[in-house]
Amino acid sequence: LIKVTCNQNNGIEHDSKDLIYSLWKDRPSIKTKPIFKLKKEFVGCTVAKKHQDLFKSLKAKFIIITSPDSICWLLNIRGYDLENSPLVMSRLIATKRKLYVFIDLKKVPEKLIKNDKSVCFISSSKFDIHIQKLNKKDSIYLDSNVSYFYYNLLKNRKNKLTIGEDPCKLMKARKNNSEIKYSKSAHLKDGISL
C-alpha cells in the first residue's frame, strides 16, 4: 500500500514508503525460511525451456512479471512466504539471456545461486531502481497485474511499453505429462486426507 496525495496541480503523487509498516504495530515478523527448487520429475520442464518459450510470442527486449505465482512457476521454485500457499514474494525482469529475480536474498540458498547462471538474484528493494534504469529506447512488455506505482515509473516510454496478459498464465495452464500425473496424485492424497 502506498500513500497517495494530491499536489497543488491536482495531480497524484506516490509516497514510496510502505504505509502499512507505520500503521500495523503488531505485524508478525516476515518469514525468512529458504526457498527450494522442485525436482524436474514434478515439473516436467526446465527453467531454461520455460525461459526460451517466454520470448517465442513476445517481441520485447524486456519482459517484466510481477505476479509471484508466475515467477515461482517459471523458476520451478517454492517457498514459505504465505501460510498455506507455497509462494515466494518476488518480481522479475526477463531478457532473452537472463532472468533477474528480485527477492529477499536471505531466502536464497547459495546452492541455488551457483546452479543456474542464467538466473540472477537481486535484493527486492532494488526492483524500482532497475526498472528506471532500463533504456527508454528498448521495448518492454509489462504484465497487466502490475501496481500503478511501477506502471508510473515506466509510462513515459509511450509506444515502447506494451501492457498485456501475464505471459506465464497461458504457459502454465497447458500442463505437461509430469504436471498432470502429480496433480492427480495430489488430489488423491488431498481427498484421502479430507
Residues 19 and 163: their CA atoms lie apart, in Å, by 27
Residues 78 and 71: their CA atoms lie apart, in Å, by 10
Residues 24 and 48: their CA atoms lie apart, in Å, by 40
Which 3 state secondary structure label does DSSP give 169?
helix
Grid cell locating 66: 510481477
Confidence band, pLDDT 50/70/90 cuts, at residue 2: very low
pLDDT at 149: 85
Interval 92-119: pLDDT, tens: 999 999 999 999 999 999 888 777 788 9
How far does the chain reach from its first CA to its final CA, in angstroms?
A: 36
Asked whether 182 and 161 are in contact (CB, 8 A), the reply is no
pLDDT at 17: 57
Interval 42-98: pLDDT, tens: 999 999 999 999 999 788 999 999 999 999 999 999 999 988 889 999 999 999 999
Interval 5-26: pLDDT, tens: 555 665 656 555 567 767 888 8
Asked whether the predicted pLDDT for residue 151 surpasses 90, the reply is: no
Question: pTM here?
Answer: 0.83
Asked whether the predicted pLDDT for residue 121 surpasses 70, the reply is: yes
